[in-house]
Structure 1
Amino acid sequence: MTILRLSFSPVSENSVSLGSRVFSTIDPGADAINGIQLLSLASSTMYPKVGGSEGKAATRVSPGEDAELFPIFGAVPQDTGTVEVFLPHFGVVAGVPVVGEAEAGFDVAGALSGADPDTSKAGPYSIGSATFVADGSSDTRKDSTSTTVTVSGDVTFASDSAELSGQADAVLASAVEQIKRFPSGGGLAITGHTDDVADDAHNQTLSEQRARAVSDRLKQLVDLSKWTVEATGKGEGEPRVPNDSDEHRQANRRVEVVLTPSNPAEGEGSGVGASPAPASPSAGSGQMPQAQGPVGTGADGVDITIDSVVVHVWMEKVTRVGGYLVGELLMRTDSELSLPVSAFILPSEWQGVLRGQLLNRVCNLTLLSGDTHYLEAYYAAAAETFYPLADTFTLVVKSGQVPTRFPAVWPDTGQDAVVLDLPGGKKMHQDALRLRLTDIPVVEG
């Protein structure tokens, strides 16, 4: 196992109770430190807390004193030199050295005594990433073993047809770029999907025809001689989101291109865990979409109003660590404020891509490069169950000069400065925050 020694000491004039779940989620029954995560960003892996320090929940810590906490995680590889630690509501601490038990500097046996770690959930879990083109023409999801490029059926094809549109090549360029990253080839699964309009038989046939059309065109655009290509259709059987609105039906009309390379290491340098090349070509203009809320630089920030309370929001910097970017959104107000539960929700048309535990988490802090949104990196604790590497939801922003912090991890955009965008979306909850912060400097970790 891996044990983290964490010293906690208040810097204010007031004592603090760890029973307030200082480093935890808002999940019922959570202990004081259940939200702490151990990250190895260089290897794109996350280790959840599996035990340790549960008995500290009732501890009160006074100014000038400290409490030592010992969260326990699964074992990191022996050759790991440093790791990162995600602390909810505080930030991401990089460069934490990994040492042997003899060099720990504390009583390891005592820290383990009575901890009873649940090693069945120790992981490690692979970290993945997702990008969305602002006009909805395509999105890309990457993890350690595969890359999925999804193209919009409405942009790629004529209505209710398998005939490729004039924009098809521009949309498929994102798939072509990903295929070229793996010269040794592998498996290529191309799957067509429809909405629920028309009968099942029609939709099944249309989805199969669209998958074959994409397959045939990709063979003309890029060398697929080292790829095993399979083109199938699922009709209306696997919607991304419920077919309960025009926007949702549009999201469900799509073709998915899944690459499973035989040598995933060939993609290093532009994929998950490494500084990527600029965003893939798309059917969009490449121009940054119009902001849906106030705009300011990261240093100056913007003011937004929530329930008649003015909140100042800013971001000082992001730090490049192990092929990722880490940073914190900061909020400050003169009056204590309860945030709406939908303040950090994703646009509905994106939620179908990252199915999983998106409630009670800060999900909509995207980095915007040209017309492409980079979502927060995520990990999959189970099949199709995604958790963003972002802060858990904070119900209250306290008044005063000390800001409330919302840390997050993103895939690296490869830029020297980034834009943080809390987007609108075609269908967005009215309480979702909308703002944009520009010129946020990227510093080396």
Structure 2
Amino acid sequence: MLRAKTHTGSVLVLAISASLAFTLTACSGTASPDPGPINATNSPSEVEAALTPEDAVATRTVPLAGADVEVTVRPLVRADDLVVATLDFHGLPADGFISTTLLTGELTGIPAYSALRLLDLTNDQVFTVAMNSDDKAVATYADGRAGDGPEPRIQLAFAAPDAGIDSLGLFLPGGAYIDSVPIIDGDIPEPIPAEERYRPFDITTVVQAPVLPLESFTSELAGAVESLSSTEKVEVTLGSDVLFDVDADTLTKDAVDAVKGAAKHLKSREPGTIEIVGHTDDVASADYNQKLSERRAKAVAEELAKHIDKAQFPIETAGKGKGEPLVPNDSDENRTLNRRVTLTLTSEITTETEVETDGDIPELEEGLTATGEKGVRIDSSRIFEYRAPQARMVDGHVIVDLEVTAVDDEIDSSFGLGSLAGLWSYRGSETRSAHRSASGVTILMGTTRIAPMDYYYGDDKTGTEIWLPATDLHTMGRIDSGQTRIYSIIYPKLGDVETVTIQAGPGSGINAFRLTDIPVLSDAS
């Protein structure tokens, strides 16, 4: 069971009942029509005309149970302060089923269908499936396993956006992101019970309908500076190996540039107190590391004070020694990550930080590089081809549709696409995420690495925060020989960009590759 943990302005979990109305955070604007770039069939005349709840507004082809299954999406139907999504699956083999992992991800503690989400990219919000008093999804086939019939219909409840919003995007795992599903008034489509496992959902059982803000993360490829932005705080991490020589507390000649970069990130925010904390690895005694971490924090504070207005940004320092490692101290690489100085600014109002794009993208030392159109072929336990012929601009966000095709002869193999994400979350070892997600595919702009958007979902039973990315939460869906699966990945607003470069890895579970010169279609396109 997840326990709600409030971050200032970060989490909105709505408790409701069938007889009580509730008010959502106000939204404005209308999502752009879906361009349908991949495996998509959309009829503009249908979308623009007066719709009925049974009309098809988009289709996607998703590999399921060895077949290319067509998913038909119906309009979102308002039901008081909820909306109901209806998806029909056509061509599922008679003995096949829609798995929990496809729609949830390899992560316990979150309900089925958590990977199937509605998004408002104008206001950077994600709507996750509504839950009942038992923390179960309010949906058809509530256990997330539908099948044993050719035409299952899945229906799910979500919170409704403000009345001024007439469409939302739909994230369907395995298919290209649908950026506009109209919201209409009318009767909820009738269920289609396909087999004995069918369980109709009851919207009167909804007690929670989460609406969560999307957040962003960027880092420097050299590992010197990382910036975590949210509605609550900005945290900048400086690698101690860049700032200091071994066992030293005097800034190196390269450290000034790193501190200047950190100051630029912090000054883009509203005024507030900056806390500077030094951290070390586990080499040497606890007392030695504690004193070293304190001296290093003070050295960074003295340099930062030269580049920032202390009247608006008061500075406090502390040292944690080896007491709060970011990752376990079990390798030289991890110890390098733990040797760091963090600068945390808390302010009341969030402002967007421009992504640094200066400098050339460094060469990928280990791995394959090709254009997005050409793609790369990687032979591991299976042979997969990765391509990204184009990206899309949707409400200012860049969305990359990564195509993964099985080019071997395997049918129903026990091996699949294991991961497109690293073992450890960039938010540290005190957080959890979906480790077999596609979150490890990042955009490179100059020397800056941009992670997919993500959102704080809640706490697990141990109190550990769960952060989920705006991409597939599970990459292990079955892909047979010749089949293609789409992994849509949603990135922050990057301004007016014409092309992007993406990179996966290197890291645990990732065969490193880079795809360059991916054209970005504008909102107008």
Smaller-chain TM-score range? 0.7 to 0.9
CA contact 1:417–1:440 (8 Å) conserved in 2: yes
User: Per-residue deviation at 1:61?
Assistant: 5.4
**Could you give the per-residue CA deviations for residues 162-184 of structure 1, whole angstroms, max 9, x where no partner exists?**
211111121123222112313x4
User: Per-residue deviation at 1:60?
Assistant: 5.1
Mapped pair 1:297 → 2:371 = yes
Q: 1:200 to 1:57 in 2, by over 3 A?
A: closer
TM-score w.r.t. length of structure 2: 0.71
Mapped pair 1:441 → 2:519 = yes
User: Per-residue deviation at 1:439?
Assistant: 0.9
> What residue is the counterpart of 1:326 in the other structure?
399
- The runs of 5 or more residues in structure 1 that have no matched partner are none
Q: Aligned with 2:305: secondary structure?
A: helix
> What residue is the counterpart of 2:238 in the other structure?
151
Q: 1:61 to 1:321 in 2, by over 3 A?
A: farther
> What residue is the counterpart of 1:44 in the other structure?
124
User: Per-residue deviation at 1:220?
Assistant: 0.5
> What residue is the counterpart of 2:389 in the other structure?
316
Tell me how far apart the structure 2 counterparts of residues 29 and 262 of structure 1 sit (CA, whole Å).
31
2:263 to 176, 189, 196: 176
Q: 1:108 to 1:291 in 2, by over 3 A?
A: farther
> What residue is the counterpart of 1:398 in the other structure?
479
Q: 1:15 to 1:338 in 2, by over 3 A?
A: same
**Amino acid of the residue matched to residue 360 of structure 1?**
R
Q: 1:376 to 1:16 in 2, by over 3 A?
A: farther
Tell me how far apart the structure 1 counterparts of residues 522 and 163 of structure 2 sit (CA, whole Å).
25
Tell me how far apart the structure 1 counterparts of residues 206 and 329 of structure 2 sit (CA, whole Å).
40
Q: Aligned with 1:70: secondary structure?
A: strand
User: Per-residue deviation at 1:116?
Assistant: 5.8
CA contact 1:339–1:394 (8 Å) conserved in 2: no
- The runs of 5 or more residues in structure 2 that have no matched partner are 1-80, 131-137, 193-198, 460-464
Q: Aligned with 1:329: secondary structure?
A: strand
Mapped pair 1:362 → 2:438 = yes
Q: 1:287 to 1:420 in 2, by over 3 A?
A: closer
**Amino acid of the residue matched to residue 412 of structure 1?**
K
> What residue is the counterpart of 1:77 in the other structure?
162
Q: Aligned with 1:155: secondary structure?
A: helix
Tell me how far apart the structure 1 counterparts of residues 113 and 83 of structure 2 sit (CA, whole Å).
13
> What residue is the counterpart of 1:373 in the other structure?
449
Mapped pair 1:97 → 2:182 = yes
Summarize the alignment of residues 236-315 of structure 1 with structure 2, pairs less than 5 Å apart.
Answer: 236-264=322-350, 267-268=351-352, 271=353, 276-279=354-357, 286-307=360-381, 309-315=382-388
Q: 1:26 to 1:43 in 2, by over 3 A?
A: closer
Q: Aligned with 1:209: secondary structure?
A: helix
User: Per-residue deviation at 1:255?
Assistant: 0.8
> What residue is the counterpart of 1:24 in the other structure?
103
Tell me how far apart the structure 2 counterparts of residues 376 and 80 of structure 1 sit (CA, whole Å).
25
Mapped pair 1:138 → 2:211 = no
**Amino acid of the residue matched to residue 41 of structure 1?**
L
Q: 1:123 to 1:239 in 2, by over 3 A?
A: same
Mapped pair 1:233 → 2:324 = no
User: Per-residue deviation at 1:417?
Assistant: 0.7
**Amino acid of the residue matched to residue 162 of structure 2?**
P
> What residue is the counterpart of 1:423 in the other structure?
505
User: Per-residue deviation at 1:147?
Assistant: 1.5
Mapped pair 1:86 → 2:160 = no
User: Per-residue deviation at 1:437?
Assistant: 0.9
**Could you give the per-residue CA deviations for residues 292-314 of structure 1, whole angstroms, max 9, x where no partner exists?**
2222111111111123x432210
Q: Aligned with 1:221: secondary structure?
A: coil
> What residue is the counterpart of 1:382 in the other structure?
458
Tell me how far apart the structure 2 counterparts of residues 306 and 397 of structure 1 sit (CA, whole Å).
16
CA contact 1:149–1:174 (8 Å) conserved in 2: no
Tell me how far apart the structure 2 counterparts of residues 114 and 13 of structure 1 sit (CA, whole Å).
25
Q: Aligned with 2:275: secondary structure?
A: strand
> What residue is the counterpart of 2:57 in the other structure?
none
Tell me how far apart the structure 1 counterparts of residues 178 and 337 of structure 2 sit (CA, whole Å).
38
Q: 1:347 to 1:291 in 2, by over 3 A?
A: farther
Q: Aligned with 1:258: secondary structure?
A: strand
Tell me how far apart the structure 1 counterparts of residues 361 and 374 of structure 2 sit (CA, whole Å).
24
**Amino acid of the residue matched to residue 470 of structure 2?**
L
**Could you give the per-residue CA deviations for residues 308-359 of structure 1, whole angstroms, max 9, x where no partner exists?**
x432210122222234222321122242355467532316594737831232
1:106 to 188, 193, 198: 188
Q: 1:112 to 1:16 in 2, by over 3 A?
A: closer
Tell me how far apart the structure 1 counterparts of residues 173 and 281 of structure 2 sit (CA, whole Å).
39
User: Per-residue deviation at 1:241?
Assistant: 0.6
Q: 1:443 to 1:338 in 2, by over 3 A?
A: farther
Tell me how far apart the structure 1 counterparts of residues 368 and 241 of structure 2 sit (CA, whole Å).
31
Q: 1:82 to 1:236 in 2, by over 3 A?
A: same
User: Per-residue deviation at 1:419?
Assistant: 0.8
User: If each structure's helix is expressed as a fraction of its own residues, which one has the higher value?
Assistant: 1
Percent identical: 25
1:223 to 309, 321, 325: 309
Tell me how far apart the structure 1 counterparts of residues 425 and 173 of structure 2 sit (CA, whole Å).
27
TM-score w.r.t. length of structure 1: 0.83
**Amino acid of the residue matched to residue 24 of structure 1?**
L
Summarize the alignment of residues 5-16 of structure 1 with structure 2, pairs less than 5 Å apart.
Answer: 5-10=85-90
1:185 to 271, 277, 285: 271
**Could you give the per-residue CA deviations for residues 187-240 of structure 1, whole angstroms, max 9, x where no partner exists?**
322111111222222222222222222222111112232123222221111110
Tell me how far apart the structure 2 counterparts of residues 74 and 255 of structure 1 sit (CA, whole Å).
40
Q: 1:434 to 1:116 in 2, by over 3 A?
A: farther
User: Per-residue deviation at 1:5?
Assistant: 2.6
Tell me how far apart the structure 2 counterparts of residues 301 and 109 of structure 1 sit (CA, whole Å).
41
**Amino acid of the residue matched to residue 288 of structure 1?**
P
Q: 1:21 to 1:353 in 2, by over 3 A?
A: closer
How many residue pairs end up in the alignment?
419
Q: Aligned with 2:431: secondary structure?
A: coil
**Amino acid of the residue matched to residue 92 of structure 1?**
Y
User: Per-residue deviation at 1:153?
Assistant: 0.7
